[in-house]
Structure 1
Amino acid sequence: MSLASRLYQLQSSELQLRDQRRRLQETIDRLNHNEELAATERELESAEGRLKTAEKRQRELEWEVNDLSAKIRDLNDRLYGGSVRNPKELLSLEQDVQSIKKHLAGKEELLLEAMALSESIEAEVASLREQAGKLRGAWDEERGGLERLRETLETEVGRLAGVRLALRQELGPDASQRYDQVVRSKGVAVVKVEQGRCKGCNLTVPAGLWQRARAGEMVECGSCGRFIYVE
């Protein structure tokens, strides 16, 4: 294999290696974090917290309503039970009953609102739990495929890394260093010559240069400084 061919194969293997490493990292990131599921679980946690607060408020209002209802019953027992005969005291009891009833009506209205809120949040929680369950099921299936893909990509990355190492050893340190310098400055170090033009800069390559490249020499384009390769 000529020097130019090794350079072109080295570049090809490194580009493939970079692409496969990117895919591997994306796969690992996906395995480590499912954003859609995580977002749904955060929403569910928030809704469950709001439901807990709403239910607590509902219970407090229920206790207050029960307490006020009990007070009204006690006052009515005194008012109509015959144990109190003093007109002033009876009037006072009647006023107390009306005052507590008014207070009770306000609490009952608040209780109805609290119950409606609890029911609304309960429906939201139920919907989110169902959604999260479906996402977990789908994620369990997807994760198996991702694990297999990760194993495949890890194998391919290892293979390409071995190919790259072997090619660099064949090229030797001087040629590898020159190649790396062009990669750092140009991004792409090796370009083809097609119909007499460098594919890196699209300018005509002197016949003498591309003939040397065809012969397998390590030749740079006189215009863009990249190594040229002729199949």
Structure 2
Amino acid sequence: MMLPDVQNLIELQQADREVLRLKEEIAALPKRVAAIEEKLAGTKALLENAKTAVKADEANRRKYETAIKDVQQKISKYRDLSLEVKTNEQYRALMHEIQFAEQDIRANEDKILELMVAAEAREKSVKAAELELKAEMAEIEKEKTEARERTVEDEKQLAEWNAKRDKARAGVNPDLLRHYDRVSKFRGSGLSEVRDQKCLTCQVMLRPQTYNDVRSGQMVICESCQRVLYYNPANEIAPERPSLTAKRRARPKIHIDKAWFYRPDFEGLGEAFLAFVNAQGSSSRRVYDAHTGRKVGDTEFQPGEFTTAFADDIRSAIRLKGGLEEQQLDEWAEELPMVILDELNADLKVARAEKSHLASETSRHPAAS
């Protein structure tokens, strides 16, 4: 059963995460609006530049038109003078001036034509910028409205989560709370779930004893990341359970070098799982408490195969499926991993059911005499 302190820490960590999320969201909303306003300012600048360019073109066009009028007045003056001159040289000089003036008029007219062509494109740019500005102004007003509404809702939720957070903190032992706060400050979280014999946050495997302690509801700190550990059986991946209705349990092989057995009354210990292994002309026996998975006593070695050397131990025992290499058993040392213990108990349950079913069938259909 989970300790109240751990349950409150779970609620506290959830509240801490929600409070952080809401604060970040509240802080991000004005930034999002500011980004849109910055884009809006850019569109306004483009529009102003386009309008300024149109005005500049209009001013240049008026300048060229004025220049043409001035030159036309000069031409008119030169023509009047040409009627009064008395020599051919004077007349030719005035004609040259008129030609130069007419060239000047044509140059100004070309510039006006260029401005007229450019004016069409500039007008399109102005209209496009005006439409874009109008759309962005509508969008920013929409964003501001949504941001205000979201902020109000976030602040409401923030107040609720802060209240939950305060309540959860009040329910945690002060020393444990200080540890949680210290680890959370440096690692971002102070609590971690364990699953499949490892801390899910730092991914470090736990020792079997540590894993069993967490599963049994004891207060345990991860040796690697220092987070408080907790176990949620609902999230554990259950080992595949044999089923009498779906698929019959495989019959144990007769001649094998390793096997598990169950004894309900082993040498005063009570229920126990026995692991036997044959190796190089000898055999070994390891005994584990069927409830805790802890090893009982030392490993015993005998000459010969275990079926002979430990015949008394297995005579009244229930044979279970499979077996494990001696190296694996040595690595587990003094305690079976909980997942192995669960598998053994699951197979024992099926073996008992099969035994009961077989006994029932035998009683209903006795062998013919």
Per the shorter chain, which TM-score range? 0.7 to 0.9
State how many pairs are aligned: 226
Amino acid at match of 1:48: K
Change (3 A) 1:207 1:137: closer
CA contact 2:33–2:140 (8 Å) conserved in 1: no
Matches within 5 A, 1:141-180: 141-171=142-172, 173-180=174-181
Counterpart-to-counterpart distance in 1, 2:116 and 2:35: 37
Deviations 1:21-79 (A, max 9, x none): 22222212223341443332222122222223222222211211221122223323443
Greater alpha carbon shift after TM alignment, 41-50 vs 203-212 = 203-212
- Matched with 1:138 is 139
- Matched with 1:210 is 214
- Matched with 1:7 is 9
Change (3 A) 1:207 1:107: closer
- Matched with 2:129 is 128
Amino acid at match of 2:6: A
Match for residue 60 of structure 2 among 43, 57, 60: 57
CA contact 1:192–1:228 (8 Å) conserved in 2: yes
Amino acid at match of 1:52: K
Counterpart-to-counterpart distance in 2, 1:134 and 1:208: 63
CA contact 1:203–1:223 (8 Å) conserved in 2: no
CA contact 1:28–1:150 (8 Å) conserved in 2: no
Matches within 5 A, 1:65-84: 65-79=68-82, 82-84=83-85
- Matched with 2:33 is 31
Higher strand content, 1 or 2: 2
Between 1 and 2, higher relative CO (CA 8 Å, sep ≥ 6) is seen in 1
Change (3 A) 1:137 1:97: same
1:208 CA displacement: 4.7
The structure with the larger Rg is 2
Matched, 1:43 2:59: no
Greater alpha carbon shift after TM alignment, 140-149 vs 96-105 = 140-149
CA contact 1:20–1:157 (8 Å) conserved in 2: yes
**TM-score (normalised: structure 2):** 0.55
Counterpart-to-counterpart distance in 2, 1:187 and 1:170: 21
- Matched with 1:19 is 21
1:98 CA displacement: 0.9
CA contact 2:214–2:231 (8 Å) conserved in 1: yes
Counterpart-to-counterpart distance in 2, 1:168 and 1:37: 46
CA contact 2:5–2:173 (8 Å) conserved in 1: no
Amino acid at match of 2:200: K
Q: Percent identity between the aligned chains?
A: 21
Specify every segment of 5 or more residues in structure 2 that has no aligned partner in the other structure, as ranges. Answer: 233-369
Counterpart-to-counterpart distance in 2, 1:2 and 1:46: 67
Change (3 A) 1:172 1:28: farther
Counterpart-to-counterpart distance in 1, 2:39 and 2:145: 17
Root-mean-square deviation (CA, aligned residues, Å) is 2.4
Counterpart-to-counterpart distance in 1, 2:224 and 2:32: 44
Counterpart-to-counterpart distance in 1, 2:77 and 2:128: 45
Deviations 1:109-137 (A, max 9, x none): 12222232233222211111112112222
Greater alpha carbon shift after TM alignment, 148-157 vs 24-33 = 24-33
Q: For residue 171 of structure 1, give the secondary structure of its aligned residue in structure 2.
A: coil
Greater alpha carbon shift after TM alignment, 44-53 vs 61-70 = 44-53
CA contact 2:68–2:108 (8 Å) conserved in 1: yes
**TM-score (normalised: structure 1):** 0.84
Counterpart-to-counterpart distance in 1, 2:72 and 2:124: 30
Change (3 A) 1:61 1:172: farther
1:16 CA displacement: 1.3
Specify every segment of 5 or more residues in structure 1 that has no aligned partner in the other structure, as ranges. Answer: none
